[in-house]
Amino acid sequence: MISCNDDDNSNTNLGQTEADVIEYIEANNLDAERTSLGTYYVIEEQGEGKTPTSDAYVVIDYKGYFLDGEVFDMSNSEGVSFDLLNVIPGFADGIVNFNEGGKGTILIPSNLAYGDSGISGVIPGGAVLVFDVEVLTITNPQSEDDIIEYLELNSLEAERSNTGLYYIIEEEGTGDPITETSTVTVAYTGYFLDGTEFDSSSENGVQFNLQNVIPGFQEGITHFKEGGKGTLLLPPNLGYGSEGSSNIPRNTVLIFDIVVKSLD
């Protein structure tokens, strides 16, 4: 969450505690709430969008500073994407109190930030951190309910398999049935529910042995024959699950527009 700073704070310990947070709040006449962990937050605007869960991905426009007003880090107006599982505890604990579009301030005691060690050259040990934040976007873990909502919003009719895979057959295709051990060539575009594309093939497609692909893609292709065309909507457990991958966030619904070029 922080950028480098030329000042050397490596041997400094401010020794600040929750009492310093309370003193700062009183001195600045802030209307702050305290979480059960001990994070303090001030809501300037609640926001009208969704509320983040503790394991959400969020994009935040923020400025981070110490109690004396010295800024140690800030984003540009486009914000920075964060995985709330991978930030300091107080930051995540504060952000979950805002809705998408919300604005305000988070005050984090040092034990919920970088503790007595701090970060050499950037954050002194024992430092209270203050963040002015605006929550730009929130992506919570997705589920089958999100697929159903997507289908309704886009007036799409899909079939559901026993595993929870949804598929739309535009053209079934002709030829021999495809099994879960088949080798096929498939042209595809993969994207998220918000339309962001994460992968695609050329028009000629890519050859796959279906034993070596994610479960939802493996199963989905078997609903088509050679020449078949349609869409697969995979709940997270049939995609990359709770781990995700290098370009797939965890617990994310995946959509594939596919054309089965050949059964090889």
Catalytic residues: 62, 72-73, 88, 114, 131
Cβ atoms 182, 263 nearer than 8 A = yes
Q: How far apart are CA 60 and CA 28, in angstroms?
A: 24
- Count the neighbouring beta carbons within 10 Å of the beta carbon of residue 103: 16
Question: Which DSSP symbol is given to 116?
Answer: T
Residue in this structure with the two tokens 């088949």, named with its chain if needed = 182
DSSP 8-state secondary structure symbol assigned to residue 195: S
Question: Using CA atoms, how far apart are residues 229 and 171, in angstroms rounded to an integer?
Answer: 5
The residue type at 122: V
Please tell me whether residue 83 adopts helix, strand or coil conformation.
strand
How many Å apart are CA 95 and CA 221, to the nearest integer?
40
Of 264, 182, 253, the closest CA to residue 223 belongs to: 182
How far is the C-alpha of 89 from the C-alpha of 221, rounded, in Å? 42
CA 256 to chain centre: 20
CA distances from residue 112 to 38, 93, 125, 212 in whole angstroms, order as listed: 8, 9, 12, 43
Quote the DSSP letter at residue 237.
G
Q: Say what the alpha-carbon torsion angle 10, 14, 17, 21 is, to the nearest 10 degrees.
A: -110
